[in-house]
Structure 1
Amino acid sequence: MRIALDAMGGDFAPQAVIEGAILAKSSLPADVEILLIGREATIREHLAKHNVSPSLFGIINADEVIEMGEHPTKALTQKPNSSIAVGFGLLKAGKADAFCSAGNTGAMLVGAMFSIKAIEGVMRPAIAGYVPKEDGRTGIILDVGANADCKPEVLNQFGELGSLYAQYVLGIEKPKVALMNLGEEEQKGTMLTQATYQLLKANTKINFVGNIEGRDMFNDKADVVVADGFTGNVILKMAESIYEIMHARGIKTDSFFDQMNYEAIGGSPIIGVNGNVIIGHGVSSPLAVTNMLRQAQQMVTADIHTKIKNALNEHSS
């Protein structure tokens, strides 16, 4: 198994990224090879600082870097030898089984859509966020930022994509799918959520349990929460801020609140594309990078994109 990692992506790259890769190397299975993509001389310099042999990693040279503030489409076109572009090239060519980056989120989305492309039948790939549950389990919410405006049909498919991910990656049998809304009743919400409710209700491919409110986000009512990218992103960022505020005020946390720390998960997968892609937080620390790589290993092991492709083929036949 080969996991490609953008060594130049993130506010604290390359130092934090390479430190995270070193940490991950000792905890991942022996058959997992980490490919560090970026300026080779810089990568080797940072490995030497930690007295780590370059032979422990695959090093792929990429002279260019897409900065955080650059326009995604223009940057990918103008910088074909950037670490993000090279990473997607490896993924497309089958020379990597997953690609992770804490770099420019827009470039990661554009790269996924135009390089490995959406799985046939997927209307809009989604970014998923992990949701800690009070009982110790983990659920997901999608979308959390890729699609701010959605049609009911797209949200309905998010329910299917999320259900497959929860089943095969998180190991949840018959995941409960719910629609985030401003009330539990069927007739509540906007025109979008009301129309989406009817599609989800009639969808025999998922275990739809109805609407949930924001207060139900962390309980056991749902394993998969469906939302448009605008709503999902607000929820995700608010959850992250709870941990940050508690940490800043010196409030003792526990295992539940610790899962709201972005470092604990490491990144957000893009679901619905022909490959395993994870977008890390821009301020990713070494621990966050380590957990992003672990998440990538889980996705590759589950072969989730193939499972989604097969499921959509079955439904269309």
Structure 2
Amino acid sequence: MKIAVDAMGGDFAPDATIQGAGLAVKQFAEEDRLVLIGIEDVVRQKLEQFNISDDRIEILHAPDVIDMGEHPTRAISQKQNASIPVGFRLLKSREVQGFCSAGNTGAMHVGAMFSIKAIEGVIRPGIAGFVPKENGGFGIIMDVGANADCKPDVLFQFGEIGSMYANRVLGIDEPKVGLMNLGEEEQKGTLLMQAAHQLFKITNKVNFIGNIEGCDVFNDKADVIVCDGFTGNVILKLAESFFDMIQSRKIRNEYFDRFNYEEIGGSPILGVNGNVVIGHGKSSPKAIENMIMLTHRMAESNLYLTLKEYFTD
């Protein structure tokens, strides 16, 4: 298996990405490979600087870099030899089984949509986020930013896609799917939420447990939380802020330590023809390590092939 990582992506790249890659590759099987995409001289210099030497690491030269603040569509079209477009070309040609980057989020999303493209039958791919649950595991929330406005059928598909991820990657049997709303009753919420609720209610494709509220995000009521990208992004950023507040007060708590973005590593783009993970822009080496390992787990599960088969039946 080959996993590619954008060595130049992130606020602290290439130092953090190279150090994180060195940590991740130690967990790879002997036959696995990690492809570092970036400016070759820089990548080699950093590998030497951090005393990282492993036969499972390969370097692919990409002379250009898409900066964090660049316009995504323009950057993808004008910088075809940058690390992000090169990574997607490798993924499209199946030379690698997964690609991840802590670089320009918009460029990663645009690259996924216009390079490997959405799976046929998927209306809108979404970005998945993770929330720590009181039972010790993680729940999935979808969408967390790709689609600020959604129609009922898109929300329903998020439930299907999220349920398959929870089962295949997180190992949850019959994941419970909840629709984020402002009340448990099915007539509650906007017209959009009411219509989406009815779509979930009449199907047996997912284990729908009804509406959930904000107080249910971190408990065990639902394994998959369905919402539009606007709502999901607000929830995810709020959850991340809990860890920062606790850290600033010098409080250590085993449960709240799991709110640290470093522990998760990144957010998968689900519903596209390949395994893609977007890391946090401020990723540390530990976050990069976990981003790479999340991509590896997705590749092992062949989730996108499962989704492809499901939506083309």
Same fold (TM over 0.5): yes
CA offsets 1:186-241 (integer angstroms, 9 cap, x no match)? 11111111111111111221010000001101111100000000000000000000
**Distance across 2 between alignment mates of 1:107 and 1:34:** 22
CA shift for structure 1 position 54? 6.5
Secondary structure at the aligned position of 2:198 is classed as helix
Verify: 1:109 aligned to 2:118, yes or no. no
In structure 1, the partner of 2:44 is 44
Secondary structure at the aligned position of 2:130 is classed as strand
**Distance across 2 between alignment mates of 1:66 and 1:139:** 32
In structure 2, the partner of 1:313 is 312
In structure 2, the partner of 1:136 is 136
**Distance across 1 between alignment mates of 2:105 and 2:273:** 18
Unaligned runs of 5+ in 2: none
**Distance across 1 between alignment mates of 2:297 and 2:143:** 20
**Distance across 2 between alignment mates of 1:225 and 1:207:** 12
What amino acid is aligned across from residue 207 of structure 1 in structure 2?
A: N
In structure 1, the partner of 2:78 is 78
Contact 2:10/2:282 (CA < 8 Å) preserved in 1? yes
CA shift for structure 1 position 56? 4.0
**Distance across 2 between alignment mates of 1:242 and 1:251:** 11
CA shift for structure 1 position 57? 1.0
Choose 24-33 or 299-308, whichever is displaced more. Answer: 24-33
**Distance across 1 between alignment mates of 2:55 and 2:252:** 41
Aligned length: 313
Secondary structure at the aligned position of 1:160 is classed as helix
In structure 1, the partner of 2:24 is 24
Secondary structure at the aligned position of 1:177 is classed as strand
**Distance across 2 between alignment mates of 1:243 and 1:30:** 36
Q: Counterparts in 2 of 1:205-224, with a 5 A limit?
A: 205-224=205-224
Choose 256-265 or 28-37, whichever is displaced more. Answer: 28-37
CA shift for structure 1 position 29? 2.4
CA shift for structure 1 position 55? 4.2
In structure 1, the partner of 2:264 is 265
Contact 2:84/2:101 (CA < 8 Å) preserved in 1? yes
In structure 2, the partner of 1:299 is 298
TM-score (norm: length of structure 1): 0.97
CA offsets 1:240-298 (integer angstroms, 9 cap, x no match)? 000011011101121x2122100000000000000000000000000001011111111
Contact 2:131/2:239 (CA < 8 Å) preserved in 1? no
Percent of counterpart pairs with the same letter? 61
Contact 1:47/1:54 (CA < 8 Å) preserved in 2? no
Q: Counterparts in 2 of 1:238-277, with a 5 A limit?
A: 238-254=238-254, 256-277=255-276
What amino acid is aligned across from residue 35 of structure 2 in structure 1?
A: L
**Distance across 2 between alignment mates of 1:188 and 1:286:** 44
Contact 2:98/2:299 (CA < 8 Å) preserved in 1? yes
Unaligned runs of 5+ in 1: none
**Distance across 1 between alignment mates of 2:203 and 2:124:** 18
Contact 2:38/2:61 (CA < 8 Å) preserved in 1? yes
In structure 1, the partner of 2:165 is 165
Contact 1:177/1:210 (CA < 8 Å) preserved in 2? yes
TM-score (norm: length of structure 2): 0.98
Verify: 1:279 aligned to 2:274, yes or no. no
In structure 1, the partner of 2:68 is 68
**Distance across 2 between alignment mates of 1:55 and 1:135:** 39
Structure 1 residue runs of 4 or more that deviate by more than 4 Å after TM superposition: none
Secondary structure at the aligned position of 2:26 is classed as helix
Secondary structure at the aligned position of 1:3 is classed as strand
**Distance across 2 between alignment mates of 1:53 and 1:70:** 33
Contact 1:44/1:54 (CA < 8 Å) preserved in 2? no
CA shift for structure 1 position 42? 0.2
In structure 2, the partner of 1:119 is 119
Contact 2:133/2:219 (CA < 8 Å) preserved in 1? yes
CA shift for structure 1 position 137? 1.6
Secondary structure at the aligned position of 2:43 is classed as helix
**Distance across 2 between alignment mates of 1:30 and 1:229:** 39
Q: Counterparts in 2 of 1:226-245, with a 5 A limit?
A: 226-245=226-245
Secondary structure at the aligned position of 1:100 is classed as strand
**Distance across 2 between alignment mates of 1:185 and 1:91:** 44
**Distance across 2 between alignment mates of 1:128 and 1:31:** 29
State the superposition RMSD in angstroms: 0.9
**Distance across 2 between alignment mates of 1:201 and 1:38:** 48
Secondary structure at the aligned position of 2:293 is classed as helix
Secondary structure at the aligned position of 2:135 is classed as coil
Secondary structure at the aligned position of 2:215 is classed as helix
Secondary structure at the aligned position of 1:87 is classed as helix
